[in-house]
Amino acid sequence: MNNCFVCGRNRSDFSKKSKNFDDHIEKEHDPWYYLYFLYYMKQKGLDELNGLEYYAWSNYVDKSTAFLPISGTMYLPENEAEELDNLEKTIEAIDKRVTSVSQSVAKIEELIERISKGDGISPVHPQKSEKKLKIVKN
């Protein structure tokens, strides 16, 4: 197979960008995934679909391919500027997560240190323990 069944891109498009075409058709645009998705939506029922699912199902029922990534793939950006922009966004998102995790770890370490020193901090939240007592008393 030299053309992607889903997006229509060919093997040479991927070769030009040093991307693996076989990975693309096996992992990103495997036609079976789209068939499973349609089956999943049918089994779920119209009333249970979320916004994206409803959009895809409506297009499918109307025999429209608007929900399919024809001529498009995130795996193969149109130009290097787009590829760099996507990479920068990914790095920024990872950086935010790392910062958040680092702050959480610092807070936890501080609490552990204070508890181990016996600074009057109880590991049990006072409001929660009062609620437990009220439940036991009733």
Q: Let me know whether 1 and 69 are in one domain.
A: yes
Residue 9 and residue 29 in contact, taking contact as beta carbons nearer than 8 Å: no
Q: Let me know whether 60 and 14 are in one domain.
A: yes
Q: Let me know whether 3 and 70 are in one domain.
A: yes
Q: How many angstroms separate the CA atoms of 20 and 11, rounded?
A: 8
Domain boundary at 76, 95, 125, which? 76
Below-50 pLDDT ranges, the chain: 129, 131-134, 137-138
pLDDT at position 48 is: 93
Q: Let me know whether 54 and 119 are in one domain.
A: no
pLDDT at position 66 is: 83
Q: Let me know whether 72 and 45 are in one domain.
A: yes
Residue 120 is classified by DSSP as: S
pLDDT at position 127 is: 55
Q: Let me know whether 53 and 94 are in one domain.
A: no
Q: Let me know whether 50 and 102 are in one domain.
A: no
Give me 78's structure tokens. Answer: 């149109």
92: containing domain: 77-138
pLDDT at position 5 is: 80
Give me 61's structure tokens. Answer: 């029922």
Residue 37 and residue 49 in contact, taking contact as beta carbons nearer than 8 Å: no
SS3 assignment, position 19: coil
pLDDT at position 53 is: 93
Q: Nearest CA to 25 among 45, 55, 5?
A: 5
